[in-house]
Structure 1
């Protein structure tokens, strides 16, 4: 097993003490020699961290000792080296920017589908009620180019704040279908599914845990390419191992 544990995790949970949390999280992560990024906002936490396994897991245990973060469920992968240059802990308006403050996942989640169920639906070409299933990529265009679900819908957005308008422009194309929104780790597709449901798109689900959880539970079935990640690895394959650099043509 490679020596460095990488985790990604998020949780929508109301926070009213983000400034104090920023300092305590920074102190704890620095004491454990962790690097990466932690984002805090009134809507919750989003983090990407790496370090020695016992330190990373110790940090997660410490964070979960706060009841607000007890449900945190990190996705894990391994690497030879820490893929971050430094530690950043920031307070933001949103942990993932959508510019729609009425979308509040902490109040009510959209229905979710787990990886194995999605794979089964894609095998069959329909959900358990016989509706055709489509996957909808909520990531940025450059991420989609690294890899995506086979025949996934891609609206070629350049930032997540463009997604709501894309829904309004294309929602008629989704009518009568079961739509499974997905992203890297689940945070964008969670907000996306809520917005789509409120915009009148029927039968919308989010992929629980995103691509990384799908890779962990299913592997690369129905997925073409690798998953882009926002660190020095650039992408991971279906075994959650760092993808080799692209060779020039």
Structure 2
């Protein structure tokens, strides 16, 4: 039986004195022995936290008890160990960086695409007048995506607005947007509507919820997640691996960071090439004297803080 959980959530809701809230919230999370990464902005919260089940239960109850966040939906994964090693809670300008901060143009509390529950999304994806749009970054959709999805060549979500003109040919289609947990779609769908797309939808709860409620059917590959797990399985109906090794082209689901700390590129690499290049993305990167020791995982972390023990009753 697992004793830990990982919670994924977001909530667009105005926060007064958000910088002070972030500091107070960090202290609260640490008091529960939670680890994770939370972004606080004037527009709301975006977080992934992990810890003992009882601590996670207390955290969820505390969030829901705050009327600003009472409608927050949590995606809950049972995990063998905490998915982070430290607790971070930081104030930033947006809870997902898009560069779109004009509420007259983008306000998820005012207008977004129509929310589709996973089963509804599943029923629509094969219709002829539908386009499935992945609004995530390259390294995410390279690892896994919905069958026949339109993907964009973007390094970060802040590049999404620059791609609107490329999508103009789909204005007469039903556009179904999706991302990991739903947060990016709130702004992406709103921006599409602002630019004249009339029939815009978004997958409520994202890929993670789709995996839980629709068994991940027709999601090909793995889903990238922003914690120590790096990637999770989604599809239990018709799974397949679609990602390939950057170096040799062999099919592989393994994603790592380049061992060269000055590069640190996120990419897919098979075990054989990982051993040959000692976790580097290229021969050039193998020569850096500061390279981190490759242990087969390609994941490099700092010394963990001692917060991962379940809270005693």
TM-score by length of 1: 0.91
> Which of 99, 103, 108 does residue 105 from structure 1 map onto?
108
Who is 2:158 aligned against? 161
Measured in 1, the distance between the counterparts of 2:99 and 2:42 equals 14
SS in structure 2 at match of 1:145: helix
Who is 1:185 aligned against? 181
SS in structure 1 at match of 2:164: helix
Q: Which structure's CA Rg is the greater one?
A: 2
Is residue 5–residue 50 contact of structure 1 (8 Å, CA) maintained in 2? yes
Task: Provide closer, same or farther for how the CA distance between residues 239 and 30 of structure 1 changes in structure 2, counting only shifts above 3 A.
Answer: farther
Q: CA deviation at 1:78?
A: 1.9
SS in structure 1 at match of 2:168: helix
Who is 1:195 aligned against? 191
Which range moved further: 79-88 or 191-200? 79-88
Between Structure 1 and Structure 2, how many residues are aligned?
240
Who is 2:121 aligned against? 118
- Pairs within 5 Å for 1:1-249: 1-102=1-102, 103-122=106-125, 125-126=126-127, 132-172=129-169, 174-238=170-234, 246=254, 247-248=270-271
Is residue 171–residue 196 contact of structure 2 (8 Å, CA) maintained in 1? no
SS in structure 1 at match of 2:111: coil
Q: CA deviation at 1:239?
A: 6.5
Measured on the aligned residues, the alpha-carbon RMSD in Å equals 1.8
Measured in 2, the distance between the counterparts of 1:135 and 1:33 equals 39
TM-score by length of 2: 0.73
Deviations 1:16-53 (A, max 9, x none): 12123112211211111000011111111001000001
Who is 2:280 aligned against? none
SS in structure 2 at match of 1:26: helix
Measured in 2, the distance between the counterparts of 1:245 and 1:224 equals 11
Measured in 1, the distance between the counterparts of 2:27 and 2:43 equals 22
Task: Provide closer, same or farther for how the CA distance between residues 245 and 225 of structure 1 changes in structure 2, counting only shifts above 3 A.
Answer: closer
Deviations 1:106-139 (A, max 9, x none): 23333111110111112xx22xxxx611210010
Measured in 2, the distance between the counterparts of 1:15 and 1:79 equals 31
Q: Which runs of 5+ in 2 are unaligned?
A: 242-251, 255-269, 273-313
Q: CA deviation at 1:10?
A: 0.2
Deviations 1:155-205 (A, max 9, x none): 121110110110123212x13211111100000011100000101112111
Is residue 140–residue 159 contact of structure 1 (8 Å, CA) maintained in 2? yes
Task: Provide closer, same or farther for how the CA distance between residues 57 and 144 of structure 1 changes in structure 2, counting only shifts above 3 A.
Answer: same
Q: Which runs of 5+ in 1 are unaligned?
A: none
Measured in 2, the distance between the counterparts of 1:11 and 1:157 equals 24
